[in-house]
Each structure stands twice: as structure tokens, then as C-alpha cells.
Amino acid sequence: MSVDKEGVPFFTNIPSKDEFKLLYKERYKIQKNSIMLRDLDGIIKRAASKHNVDYPLVKAVIKVESDFNPHAVSNAGAMGLMQLMPGTAEMLKVKDVFHPGDNIDGGVRLLKLLLSRFDGNISLALAAYHAGAERVSRYQDIPPIDSTRKFVTKVIKWMIKYQEKEKAETVRNENENYD
């Protein structure tokens, strides 16, 4: 909620300025199903391929950030699957942070920028995604923030799991082609 100069209140579910005060936050608990997850997987693969970012990395960020909930909103105000902050979403020109395609495309572009800025160092790019690029630059390492260190560790753990799953599927598909 915000109040203009004449005292008229303004309500929104997507605040665009710091002058808004949070009145109520809805928590969505979505029921994940195989069709929804398969559709999200396709969106993730297309965005990762389009921006030349590793698909298991993108999927791992989404798993850790929102657990595949497109309506997720953090206590800090980050929104959607890849938990984009309002200012970041605006900078990336993300039209609808709760639309899976828009959110993932914006988040992947941000990951691409951070990977480039930190010379392909995944740990530093993830730390910057979580705590901000300036903090990572200041420390020239993962900042000494417990939540950021845990975030980086979790994402890398999930990324490895998704890489292993992808390799197993490739081997299975190759074996089916030889039968």
C-alpha cells in the first residue's frame, strides 16, 4: 500500500517503489504434478539454451529459490520461480515476475551476466545472485553471510544431481537407439 500526496491510498500486489508498505502477503502452496513440472522443464531448457547457461544450473537455482513455485514471494520481496527482486526484474525488463517464462528468462539472463562478470566461476556467480555482485566483488569471494554460503552449497548440490540425471537419461536414450 502507498498513499499519494492527497492522502488517497493505492494498493498493489506488485510494488514498484520503496514507498510501498506491505499490508498482507499471501502464501501459495501449489500442488506439483508431473505435467506442470514437465512444462516448467521445457521452459527451463529453452531459456538455458537460448542464453547459453547450463540447464542443470538453472534448474538447481529454481529448486533452491522457489521449489518450482511460480507464485513464491520471499520475506525480502523476491518473486517467482527464480526469486527476482522488484528492482532486478525492472532492470531486466521482466514483464510479469509470476509468469514462468518471463521469470525464468529474466533469471537466466541475470545468471549469464553474473557468470560473465565472475569469469565463469559458478560459486561466485551464485553468491552474487543471492547477496549481490558488489558484495562478491568487495570480498573477491563468497561473502561471509551464512544464508549465502548455504544457498551456494545447496544449488551446487542440486546442480550435480541434475547433471547426473541428465547423463543417465542420455545413456538410456542412446541404449534405446541401439536396440
Is 134 an annotated catalytic residue? no
CA-wise closest residue to 62 among 26, 96, 34, 101: 101
Task: Out of 6, 19, 26, 65, pick the active-site residue.
Answer: 65
- 3 backbone dihedrals φ, ψ, rounded to 5°: -120, 130
CB 58 within 8 A of CB 47: yes
What does 28-61 look like in DSSP terms, one character per residue?
Answer: ------HHHHHHHHHHHHHHHHHTT--HHHHHHH
The cell for 146 is 551464512
- 84 backbone dihedrals φ, ψ, rounded to 5°: -85, 130
What does 87-152 look like in DSSP terms, one character per residue?
Answer: HHHHHTT-S-TTSHHHHHHHHHHHHHHHHHHTTT-HHHHHHHHHH-HHHHHHHTSS-S-HHHHHHH
Active-site positions read 65
